[in-house]
């Protein structure tokens, strides 16, 4: 897709860990670094993320410069009944309209099915997305968190129906969790589909703070959030600790931070089309957008890998 540049902005922290002023500064910095795709979801901050992003774009007067990718299928409001959740044709259409309203746009550049759902017939989901594109509410559609086999099923369904095909698959991929690289690249290549990568820092594990202290900052997203126990288990693994030590050594050698090295490694993978940078603060975002200027040695980045236990 033409708007898939090497880096895109993940907005999940807006209206959660970023207030409007901080969000405005982050978007401004993104534009200064030619990062124009904003990835969001109807479920982020239960719509408040959409509203904040819309307000920021309006204040900056940058609506003609940005592209918006959103997602449907999650929980848009905690008070929603069950039929207002999931990937039924009804809810896909409903949440798309809700997203357009919250974002204040006539069409989304990309709309993604947020997760694979086996309880709704695949053809129903695909037809709903194709219809939205046919009527001009979305310009393209894709998926998020689909395995290679799940995406192949969906793509075959779309091909059989004869309408618009999915153009992207957004997956988690980082130095700790490399499972997406096992089979997905071959499927993406065969279907001429592009990839979006989220979680390049494993939700904050791959940082200087964690590498130095082998512990999370109590004020960080992990240190104070619902992910803490699961991430602590990952951090306790010997392989993770060896990886952090390796990153620290590379950081000392290059002057790049652990986070910069981790993201640069992801972006170097041939099958990765864009990496989502989802900052919790303006300071962190300024650190991450500096990655292209570091001119890191490709051989050094290639040497980074999850060590065997």
The residue ranking higher by pLDDT, 127 or 222, is: 127
pLDDT grade for 308, boundaries at 50, 70 and 90 = very low
DSSP H/E element including 69: strand 67-72
Tens-digit pLDDT profile for residues 20-34 = 999 999 999 999 999
* Residue 1 clears pLDDT 70, i.e. is over it: no
Q: Report, as an integer, the average pLDDT of 200-220.
A: 89
Q: Where are the alpha helices (DSSP H) in the chain?
A: 20-32, 48-60, 89-103, 122-134, 148-161, 184-191, 208-213, 221-224, 228-235, 238-254, 258-268, 282-289, 298-303
The span from the CA of 147 to the CA of 309, in Å, is 26
Q: Report, as an integer, the average pLDDT of 112-141.
A: 98
pLDDT grade for 223, boundaries at 50, 70 and 90 = low
The span from the CA of 139 to the CA of 112, in Å, is 11
* Cβ atoms of 274 and 30 closer than 8 Å: no
C-alpha to C-alpha distances, 204 to 63, 114, 260, nearest whole angstrom? 30, 22, 12
* Cβ atoms of 229 and 204 closer than 8 Å: no
Q: What are phi and psi of 233, to 5 degrees?
A: -65, -40
Tens-digit pLDDT profile for residues 157-205 = 999 999 999 999 999 999 999 999 999 999 999 999 999 999 999 989 9
pLDDT grade for 309, boundaries at 50, 70 and 90 = very low
For residue 123, what pLDDT is reported? 98
Helices 238-254/258-268 angle, 10° precision: 100
Looking at domain 1-166, its CATH class is alpha beta
């Amino acid at each position: 897709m033409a708007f898939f540049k090497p880096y895109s902005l993940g907005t999940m922290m807006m209206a959660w860990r970023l207030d409007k002023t901080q969000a405005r500064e982050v978007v401004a910095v993104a534009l200064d670094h030619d990062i124009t795709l904003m990835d969001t979801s109807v479920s982020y901050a239960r719509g408040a993320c959409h509203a904040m992003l819309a307000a920021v774009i309006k204040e900056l007067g940058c609506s003609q410069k940005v592209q918006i990718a959103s997602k449907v299928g999650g929980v848009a409001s905690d008070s929603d009944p069950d039929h207002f959740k999931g990937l039924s044709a009804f809810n896909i259409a409903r949440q798309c309209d809700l997203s357009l309203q919250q974002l204040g746009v006539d069409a989304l550049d990309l709309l993604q099915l947020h997760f694979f759902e086996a309880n709704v017939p695949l053809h129903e989901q695909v037809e709903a997305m194709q219809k939205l594109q046919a009527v001009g509410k979305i310009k393209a559609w894709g998926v998020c968190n689909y395995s290679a086999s799940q995406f192949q099923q969906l793509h075959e369904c779309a091909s059989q129906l004869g309408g618009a095909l999915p153009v992207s698959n957004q997956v988690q991929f980082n130095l700790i969790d490399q499972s997406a690289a096992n089979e997905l690249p071959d499927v993406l290549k065969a279907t001429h589909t592009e990839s979006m990568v989220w979680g390049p820092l494993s939700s904050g594990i791959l940082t200087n703070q964690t590498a130095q202290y082998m512990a999370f900052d109590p004020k960080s997203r992990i240190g104070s959030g619902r992910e803490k126990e699961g991430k602590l288990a990952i951090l306790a693994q010997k392989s993770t600790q060896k990886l952090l030590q390796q990153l620290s050594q590379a950081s000392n050698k290059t002057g790049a931070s652990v986070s910069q090295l981790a993201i640069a490694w992801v972006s170097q993978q041939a099958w990765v089309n864009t990496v989502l940078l989802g900052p919790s603060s303006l300071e962190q975002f300024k650190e991450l957008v500096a990655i292209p200027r570091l001119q890191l040695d490709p051989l050094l980045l290639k040497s980074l890998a999850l060590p065997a236990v």
